[in-house]
Amino acid sequence: MNDVRAVFEKLGRARFISHLDLLRCMQRAFKRAGLPLWYSQGFNPRAYLMFPLPLSLGIGSICEIMDFTLVDDISCDEIKDRLNKTLPDGIKILSVDAPVKKHTEIAAAVYEIKFFDRNSNIILLFNEFMEQEKIEIQKVNKKKIPVQIDIKPQIEVLEMVSKDGQAVIKLKLPAGTQENLNVNSMLEAFQNFIKSEIDDIFICRTDILCLDGKKFF
């Protein structure tokens, strides 16, 4: 048995593969690559294949994490090569190692949002958005009752640049089991604030961090 952690990117067309579909896609890739996954023992055996931080549909990433267990001992380099030979366009394994940190240590994720809209000053608007006293969104709590929560303290702006009519905003948002803010929920709040829809946009997850601010992997 061989516990493995792979970091992969999900870009281009692969952004449109949903989380559930990704799971199936990966399982088949292991099969094609001749890498036998370890199956849980029991009535309905399942392959051990785990994504600690699912990515929303449409968002790109260069830091996706996938943990799995193989039946055989195969070197990390070989796992990476074999998978990369059979993964679909847009998904690429960047590194393969033995897992060090636990999933529960994940505390935040960094997102880079590119706005292609040339006609409005997104950065100015985003500053105004962040200057609000409160940024309230509706969420459903564990009892399935909708509640208003203030997400302003959760948003940490790391960088804002504007170049050639293209604005890039880099944000750090809480992620993981303790506290989590979906980048799409934040964007929805922003669109409500500016009262217009933004569809020309590219979001990419660029980093996954622990509580101490260090990289998860």
What phi and psi, each to the nearest 5 degrees, are found at residue 24?
Answer: -65, -40
Between 6 and 135, CB nearer to other proteins: 6
C-beta separation of 31 from 176 below 8 A: no
Which of positions 24-43 make contact with other proteins (CB under 8 A)?
24-25, 27-32, 39
Report residue 214: phi and psi, to 5°.
-85, 155
Q: Which of 4, 6, 7, 14 binds other proteins (CB under 8 A)?
A: 14
Phi, psi of 107 (to 5 degrees): -125, -25
Q: How far is the CB of 197 from other proteins (least distance, A)?
A: 10
Q: Does 113 bind other proteins (CB under 8 A)?
A: no
CB-CB contact of 66 with 23 (8 Å): no
Residue 189 CA to residue 61 CA, distance in Å, equals 22
* Smallest distance, other proteins to C-beta of residue 159, A: 24
Residue 168-207 contact track with other proteins, rule CB under 8 A, x = bound:
-------------------------------xx-------
CB 99 within 8 A of CB 51: no
Judged by the rule CB under 8 A, the positions of this chain that interact with other proteins are: 12-14, 16-18, 21-22, 24-25, 27-32, 39, 57-58, 86-90, 199-200
